Amino acid sequence: MGIDKGIDPYTGEYLPSRINHLGNAVYIRLATPLGSWWADTSIGSRLHELARSKDLPRIGKLARQYAAAALQPLIDDGRARSIGVASEQPHDGRCLLLITVVDALGRVATFQHPVQVA
């Protein structure tokens, strides 16, 4: 019986190249409507509310605020040191969130999350 090559022998955790737990946490918190996840109603964001909003400059600011609020628990529970949220609005019916996360070990990861707007 061999050892799984995707497991760090010092920590017993999967190596980042194998699975990205932080990326999953970011995605779930942004893509899930706040209060709708059966396992924990505090997980999620209000980004889905922007789908009916017109593609105006203020939507980028709202999207950044909603994303920052949804991702704050990652800092609170110690999985991330900091999270930065920026946005781009190409005015093509979407707002693109650019998320930079510094994890607990100081590694930087970047994620993109599109938000549909009218």
Q: pLDDT tens digits, residue range 54-66?
A: 888 899 999 999 9
Rounded Cα distance between 94 and 50, Å, is 10
Which residues, given as ranges, of the chain have pLDDT below 70?
1-20
Per-residue pLDDT of 25-42, as tens digits, reads 898 899 999 999 888 899
CA 60 to chain centroid, in Å, comes to 16
The reported pLDDT for the residue numbered 1 is 38
Write down the pLDDT at residue 13.
Answer: 59
Q: Is 21-116 assigned to CATH 3.10.450.40? A: yes
pLDDT at 66: 97
Q: HSE, CB side, 13 Å, CA atoms: give it for residue 78.
A: 0
With H, G, I as helix, E, B as strand and everything else as coil, classify residue 92: coil
- What residue ranges do the domains of the chain occupy? 21-116
Separation between Cα atoms, residue 29 and residue 25, nearest integer Å = 6
